[in-house]
Amino acid sequence: MGKNYLVILLLFIGAPLFAQQDSILIRKLYSETLQQDVMDINLKYLTSKIGARIAGSVQAKQTVEWAAGILAQFHPDSLYLQPVMVPHWVRGEQEFAGMISKGISASLDVCALGGSVGTNGTLTAQVVEVRSWNELSALDDSKVKGKIVFFNRAMDAREPETFNAYLSAVDQRSLGAIAASKKGAVGAMIRSLTLAKDDYPHTGALSYEEAVRKIPVAALSTNSADNLSKALKADPFLQVSLEMNCVQLPDELSYNVIAELKGHKYPQEIVSVGAHLDSWDLGEGASDDGTGIVQAMEVLRLFTKIGITPERTLRIILYMNEEAGAHGGKQYASQVREANEVHVAAIESDAGGFIPRGFRIEASPAVIAKVRGWSQLLVPYHAGDIRLQQRGVDLVPMKGIAKALLSLDCDDSRLFYIHHSALDTYDQVNPREVQLGAGAMAAMAFLFCKYGL
């Protein structure tokens, strides 16, 4: 028997053994998280005792302190806070909107978009409805000047992947203020980004341009959007009165929360697992991203509980202000570049905490192939699907730094029914689904820590 043939044979024989060892370890990770209620206890405290935690708020500060305290209980090798300046937007008193048509008034369910300027009293104006950018562009500026632009393009219910339906409509929310203002509008309203037909408006971040006049922008519930659209057909000259009391305060000092288990063999190579600390201010931030927070912390607990001493450094990162500019993610990536750190992989959970399917990845073809090979170990837990195009906002600044960016991919059928609304509360979360997601994250982190890239 030749030497080369012997080496190949030994590798062939050894591969199933390594896979079996990995399978046993992953089974331990899942068994531990599935039989414990640590995450559920933590999530319940976060949502009921702290609640909504918009960046710059007292609640955001409390969340930083709470998260650091929880991570300390899991005995990391190091634990520290990374300073980051964040915007501080305050909604103020509850918004009001109503439409007046032929002497009859009717209320509308609205909320200000995050970062919007206020109305400085009550803004009353006629409304022009558009369902596409082309429709807005085709309007002469005189048809828009002094009016409120009503963006009424709905999420496409025919799209099986609900997140894709969201992505196809979110540009109205992010860019609507700029486009409407350029046409001379005095305000804008956006149909809420949800497939639900209800009375709950959904907020989210908007964008302004310094050279373009800032106008107030509100989100309408889907029922209110339908009612307004119907009323406009009957009376194109109807008016809407809008009152929003939101203000932008000076930036606040906040923090990313970071904990580490040092790698015993390749400590300079880092595998990160993260989520974002902040939330919008309408609900409790349970699904976005309370579930991600407790899952990321659970990965550290699982490693220390089971006694995994990682070959590469495991770093848990809880980012601040993903919702309104990803300042925490950008600050973290900037310091990684400055320190010239080596990042093998960056993993994030920000998909609602629902049933995990697997992961979305952004990496070279060779790395994707390697991760897909590992993912077979997650098939027994129905989390072995590896799709392209990761969706972690806080991971975007790590492009070109980490060799692989991965976001936990969850079933999104229910996400946008509660996303960024008052419905994002603890009772909408299934603890079992959150546990399964934590198991998948811990397993993937373990494989990266063991084998690297």
pLDDT in tens, 412-437: 999 999 999 999 999 999 999 999 99
Last residue of a domain, one of 249, 284, 301: 249
User: Are 161 and 68 in the same domain?
Assistant: no
Question: Catalytic site residue 311?
Answer: no
User: Are 298 and 324 in the same domain?
Assistant: yes
What ranges make up the beta strands (E) of 30-147? 78-90, 96-101, 104-108, 110-112, 122-130
Helix 291-306 with 58-73: angle, nearest 10 deg: 20
pLDDT of 72 strictly over 60: yes
Number of domains in the chain: 2
Cα 437 to Cα 425: distance, rounded to the nearest angstrom: 18
User: Are 280 and 338 in the same domain?
Assistant: yes
DSSP state of 382: T
pLDDT of 27 strictly over 60: yes
pLDDT range class, residue 18, cuts 50, 70, 90: low
Domain with residue 327: its CATH number is 3.40.630.10
Looking at the chain, how many residues does it have? 453
pLDDT range class, residue 10, cuts 50, 70, 90: very low
Is position 17 within any domain? Answer: no
Domain with residue 192: its CATH number is 3.50.30.30
Global pTM value? 0.94
- Of 322, 323, 348, 362, the active-site residue reads 322
* CB distance 125 to 239 below 8 Å: yes
Task: Write phi, then psi, for 447 (nearest 5 degrees).
Answer: -65, -40
User: Are 344 and 445 in the same domain?
Assistant: yes
Collapsed DSSP state (helix, strand, coil) of residue 326: coil
Last residue of a domain, one of 217, 249, 281: 249
Closest CA to 356 of 383, 381, 380: 383
Range of the domain at 58: 24-84+253-451
